[in-house]
Structure 1
């Protein structure tokens, strides 16, 4: 086995949060009288807050409107999580147990705010299962730029060939590919494209199915 460290995305990969974000965005857009489309969702997946604000500034015509939309969306997300919590993704515990048994270190590389990563990890009880975190407000460039994965690789103190990225989105796959780190895609809301399939070691249905690739 050559994989000594795994870099995990969070939203849609560790926790089933992408549906919550999508529904929160749709609701906020409806409240403001415009349409939030699946194309909008795909465009912002895995990006930084700065990118998000600029994207909606262009879509809505002003920074104030963008800020209002984002604030409404975050409030909607917080309300859902406070009421219903958030589920972890299938196969995660199995993969984490396997990693523990085989001495594979782990780091989260999430485009979300560090405070949100900490909140999700605490609410799901996963905080003790991860060694380190790199969050979106700790990098300058968001995915598909490779910066966040390169910083995660530094935390693992491993060559790229001995690490593995797990991602659910095309932007994340592209970022891993740009960082020259092997990547497996576990799709959530967005299906893999022909391009992402060329950039990945494999596409699997859940996290437990990553284990056979760790055993090669």
Structure 2
């Protein structure tokens, strides 16, 4: 039966078109120190926790502030962008979630974003009720590519890793899914620069391929 399986979604860049907000806020902070940076410089940080992101940025751009201070500046910049620009669902998300729900497929969100922000986005965009579980990396204490967030999510459903399908977009998220022993479907957004998604089992630019039938085909 398909319903002994689980679909786990990352949020940023998979459900919610929010990656650009993070990259833009990071660029703004770096440029406030007189450094030159482009949006593409920050693509590699997608899928990481804020601590790991700012640790990497501090090193890459030789910034004088502490990681905690950079996180605070990044949070302020991000909040401003979220308040002044509309946040939208990724194309095809609603149809995908509706189809999986109609097929009685359990769904969860496992994201590196804070639990508070996950809940705000999913509630605001009207998709929170599709998910039986929402888990943040801040709850597990480690960042992707560590597989812990996916393994703990599967454990809460009583589903083995081999019966889980993870939808990710970032290189780190894909590695986390594969490190967990799960099938990974990578979403490649044509509006963004391409990143390394080669470790995924499959790559798509249309989430609507993810149906109960597809799930049954790839996890037998």
Counting helix residues as a fraction of each chain, which structure ranks higher? 1
Aligned-pair Cα RMSD in Å:
2.2
Q: Contact 1:53–1:63 at 8 Å: present in 2 too?
A: no
CA separation in 2, counterparts of 1:28 and 1:43?
17
How far apart, in 1, do the equivalents of 2:24 and 2:40 lie? 14
Asked whether the equivalents of residues 7 and 166 of structure 2 are also in contact (C-alpha less than 8 Å), the reply is yes
Please list every run of 5 or more consecutive structure 2 residues that lacks an aligned counterpart in the other structure.
none
Paired with 1:28 and 1:44, the residues of 2 have a C-alpha distance of 15
TM-score, scaled relative to structure 2: 0.87
1:25–1:36 CA contact under 8 A, matched in 2: no
Contact residue 54 and residue 70 of structure 2 kept, 8 A: no
Partner of 2:138: 137
Say whether the 8 Å CA contact 1:11–1:18 is kept in structure 2: yes
The answer to whether the Cα contact below 8 Å between 1:109 and 1:152 also exists between their aligned partners in 2 is yes
Aligned to 1:153: 154
192 and 76 in structure 1: CA distance in 2 versus 1, 3 angstrom threshold:
closer
Aligned position for 2:55: 54
Give the match for residue 28 of structure 2.
27
Which residue in 2 is equivalent to 1:213? Answer: 214
Deviation at 1:200, TM superposition (A): 2.2
| CA distance 1:63–1:54, change in 2 (3 Å) | farther
Contact 2:44/2:171 (<8 A) preserved: no
| Number of residues of Structure 1 aligned to a counterpart in Structure 2 | 213
Tell me what 1:124 maps to: 125
- Greater Cα shift, 105-114 or 28-37: 28-37
CA positional deviation for 1:129: 1.6
- TM-superposition CA deviations, 1:134-192 (whole Å, max 9, x none): 10211222111111111111122211222100001111111100000001000233525
Quote the offset at 1:74 in angstroms.
1.9
Q: In structure 2, what is the Cα distance between the partners aligned to 1:208 and 1:126? A: 16
Cα deviations by residue, 1:38-58 (Å, 9 ceiling, x for unpaired) = 564233221123322422343
Query: Residue 200 of structure 2 corresponds to which residue in structure 1?
Result: 200
Which whole-Å CA distance do the structure 1 matches of 2:148 and 2:202 have between them?
22
Give per-residue Cα distances to partners, 1:63-118, cap 9 Å, x unaligned.
Answer: 73443433232222212222233100011111111111111011101001111111
Q: How far has the Cα of 1:204 moved from its partner?
A: 0.7
Q: Cα offset for 1:5?
A: 1.2
1:191 aligns with 2:194: yes
Moved more, 120-129 or 107-116: 120-129
